[in-house]
Amino acid sequence: MRRLIIGAAGGFALGYATTRAFEALADLRAKQAPLEPDPKAYGRLRRRLMLAGIARSLAQLGALAYGPAAEALAPPAGGEPRLRRLGLLAGGMALSALLDVPANYVEGHVLERRYALSKQSGRDWAVDQVKSFAVSTAISLPLLELLATAIAKAPRSWPLLATGGALPLLVLANVLMPNLIAPLFNTFEPLDGPLEVKLRELAARYGAGDAKILRVDMSKQTEKANAYVTGLFGSKRIVLGDTLLRDFAEDETVFVVAHELGHYVSRDVWRSVAGGTAAAAFVFFGARAVAGRDGTPLDSTLGLARTFFAASFLTLAAGPALAAFSRSRERAADGFALEATGAAHSGAAAFRRLRDKNMAEDEQPRWMEVLFSSHPSLKSRIERLESVS
């Protein structure tokens, strides 16, 4: 029965990749026609693609960990040499990325272009994909090797070691991501002019007056608008997308930035680090219990594949709690922005513009919000602001 399920999973993953490959080739030969702007249709399609992506990812991992490839990945009788493990892990990541290219192209590039949500060329999209793969591999391989070493040295307590390691890694990511990784994909330039003065005065009221206030060329990848406050210690950045600056009124932009400052003032980055560490503990301890049942050494390539297959299910199980936490922090940030600006009407206008600009739905299905959504519905956020304006 297990072989039948794994075979079906492998067939699904391969069939999905093949179908998307034909669609990608068809688009390369003749660009598909634009689609009418329809937030509900776009939202439905995005949800279906998200669920298909989850199923596809699990199918690929399951086929790799328990399918015919498992025999090739099984460790030699005398133990698996480090170079063999690194080579197999790198090859597995490359194969997975290759299988994902057609789906990512059709679902992440063509669809956004057809809905006029992106003007990025196919060539620029491909360059970003290569960069993403290079960065992901450069980070993932050493971390996987560290995990394998921890498992080998402490086969019973390695989840505790891995959880302890997750904490500094999450902190480090919040420092490295804005300063080293994000600039590989976009150009960040200091914002100047009256808006910069107004935003710095706002930030200074809440202890972030020394933050860099930057403009990023989001339009390079998307026509959607966004802003964020990121970084820890001395790496604080208030970042505004050029699409936001181009299409939003100044008072709306100030409210959006005040919302993001709310996350900073409430130390939501640290809250997220704590939540991520707790989730890592749940995933690591659960994965050890599930993946280690058949006696496969978990520090081997095959053992790591089975560990991450189990971890994928556990991550999905932890998702609703993390999403609920995130939604609560978004509501708190809305409240902070309202208090900081006193401009409920500007906030409501900003959210309506975000809805229209990003082709977002007023409300998603309840199951989607509970299981996956990191933000409350735009309808509820707008109504909350309109009730006090």
Q: Would you state the structure tokens that stand for residue 272, as one six-digit string?
A: 């997220």
Mean pLDDT value of segment 379-383: 96
Q: Is the pLDDT of residue 138 over 70?
A: yes
Mean pLDDT value of segment 110-115: 96
How confident is residue 313, by pLDDT bands cut at 50, 70 and 90?
A: very high
Beta bridge partners of 189: 215
54-84 tens-digit pLDDT:
999 999 998 888 888 777 788 887 788 999 9
The reported pLDDT for the residue numbered 65 is 86
Distance CA 159, CA 289 (A): 10
233-245 tens-digit pLDDT:
777 889 999 999 9
Q: Is the dihedral of CA 219, 223, 225, 226 positive or negative?
A: negative
The reported pLDDT for the residue numbered 68 is 81
The reported pLDDT for the residue numbered 174 is 87
The reported pLDDT for the residue numbered 389 is 63
Judge contact between 56 and 13, C-beta under 8 A: yes
Distance CA 377, CA 371 (A): 13
The reported pLDDT for the residue numbered 76 is 85
Instruction: Collect all residues with Cβ–Cβ distance below 8 Å to 189 and sequence separation of at least 6.
Output: 214, 215, 216
Q: Which residue has the tokens 């749940």?
A: 282
Residue whose C-alpha is closest to residue 256's, from 330, 197, 188:
330
Judge contact between 187 and 164, C-beta under 8 A: no
- Kindly list the distances between the CA atom of residue 192 and the CA atoms of 68, 201, 254, 327, in Å, as whole numbers in the listed order: 59, 13, 14, 32
Q: What is the DSSP letter of 365?
A: -
Lowest average pLDDT, out of 66-70, 265-269, 296-300, 319-323, goes to 66-70
Q: Is the pLDDT of residue 354 over 90?
A: yes
If one compares 251 and 295, the residue with the highest pLDDT of the two is 251
The reported pLDDT for the residue numbered 137 is 95
The reported pLDDT for the residue numbered 73 is 82
Amino acid at 176: L
Mean pLDDT value of segment 156-174: 93
168-193 tens-digit pLDDT:
999 988 888 888 999 999 999 999 99
3-class secondary-structure state, position 235: coil
Q: Is the pLDDT of residue 143 over 90?
A: yes
The reported pLDDT for the residue numbered 233 is 77
Q: Residue 341, Cα to own-chain centre: how many angstroms? A: 30
Mean pLDDT value of segment 103-112: 96
Tell me the pLDDT of the chain averaged across its residues. Answer: 92
The reported pLDDT for the residue numbered 1 is 61
Judge contact between 338 and 385, C-beta under 8 A: yes
The reported pLDDT for the residue numbered 130 is 97
Distance CA 161, CA 289 (A): 15
94 φ/ψ sector (left φ>0, alpha ψ -120 to 50, else beta):
alpha
Mean pLDDT value of segment 121-132: 96
